[in-house]
Each structure stands twice: as C-alpha cells, then as structure tokens.
Amino acid sequence: QQPVQSPQAVILREGEDAVINCSSSKALYSVHWYRQKHGEAPVFLMILLKGGEQKGHEKISASFNEKKQQSSLYLTASQLSYSGTYFCGTAINTGTASKLTFGTGTRLQVTL
Amino acid sequence: DVKVTQSSRYLVKRTGEKVFLECVQDMDHENMFWYRQDPGLGLRLIYFSYDVKMKEKGDIPEGYSVSREKKERFSLILESASTNQTSMYLCASRDRLGTEAFFGQGTRLTVV
C-alpha cells in the first residue's frame, strides 16, 4: 500500500548530489515531499500535481512521472542542513475523502 | 504561526491500559490524520477524519480507534495497549483543497 522509497539511507559529503526515488503500485495523482529533521516534525517541501512536472525548493527539485507511477527528489550541492529523513506522500481519493499516505522514508546524512 | 499540538511528547503505559492520544489544530482544517512512525517502515496511516464525526480506516487500523467530536480535535485511542504498539505517533492536518499537511511534534509511546 505504501509507496516504496530508495535508497533507505545515504551518506553524502557536503557539496555532493543525491537522488531519492519514490514508486507506487497504485496510480499517482499527486506527490508530496517532506523532510523530517531529527527530533522534529516532518515539514512540507513541495507538491507535484501533474505528470512530468518538476518543481524546485532551494537546491532541491523533484520530478513526477505519472505513467511510471514514480517521483524522484534531487538534492544538488548538498548542505549540512539537508540532513534528515525524506518522505514522499501520495493523496488517494477514497470517494469521500483524500487519504494521505507516506513512503518508507530515506535517511540522508550530509557530512563535512 | 500554524499549529498542530499533541498533548504529550512522551508517554509510558502498561499493557492492557486504555490510552488516549490527543491532537489539536488551530487552522480550521477539515482533514486530520494519525500515523505511527517506526524505523524502516516510514509513516504508516492508522486512521483519518475528513469532517466532524467522520472517519476512515488507514492502512493499519487494527487495535486502534479514533474520535472527532470537534473540528479542531482528533483523538487516537488504544483500547488495550500492547507492547507492539510502542512507537512514535504523529498527528497531521490538511485543508480540503489538499495542499501541504502540517504535523505535530509527535508522541513517543512506550508500552511496558
């Protein structure tokens, strides 16, 4: 049921790039990305609403391939502040409401 | 500043106890959600509510129930706590238009 994220964990040096993937067995109509820093609540990064759409937030951008039911988050020239756990989320229409489910998470650590 | 407030950061309960986790939001959001967060499993949806007294099961509802008597408050109930319910519980809210979700700080529940 949950979207699956890969990799599960990644360690980067400051300035390196990373890609986090999110794939779903169900059709995706929108994809959300959130970041959770250690001991804090998850915080919204961006939402992608159309197939093939790309959005950006600082040096973080994302793509959404509706046909492949996949989204990817791109972190460019990573900074120490990017460390945390990243979650993709999908909104599924149940007929009466919009159910928001999240993926398995990717733990990102940026080091000096 | 928008706020989702969970009543406790840490809670220790005994096996078999009835446990109430409370969540309050001040944004007049229609949708509220309860998730549990476990290492390697990401955020898993337990229950959600799209209006007062309206609720739907998430992906792992067994052993839990919920109550939403007022729009701003969403309660998660563990009828008879068990050790496998030891986890971090996160509440979130989101408006009907369905953009970003706002999370509470989480309640770390330990059942002994």
Q: Closest-CA residue in chain B for A87?
A: B42
Sorting pLDDT into bands at 50, 70 and 90, what band is A54? low
Q: Give the pLDDT confidence score for residue A97 in this predicted structure.
A: 78
Nearest to A89 by CA among B10, B90, B54: B90
pLDDT digits (tens, 9 = 90+) for B55-97: 999 999 999 999 999 999 999 999 999 999 999 999 999 987 7
Residue of A nearest to B45 (CA): A101
Share of chain B above pLDDT 70, in %: 97
Coil, strand or helix at A76: coil
The contacts of residue B39 (CB under 8 Å, 6+ apart) are none
Q: Is the Cβ of A57 closer than 8 Å to some Cβ of chain B?
A: no
pLDDT, mean over chain B = 94
A73 burial (CB, 10 Å; 0-12 / 13-18 / 19+) is: buried
Report CB contact under 8 Å: A97, B105: no
Closest C-alpha to B28, from B108, B97, B78, B83? B97
**A93 touching B (Cβ < 8 Å):** no
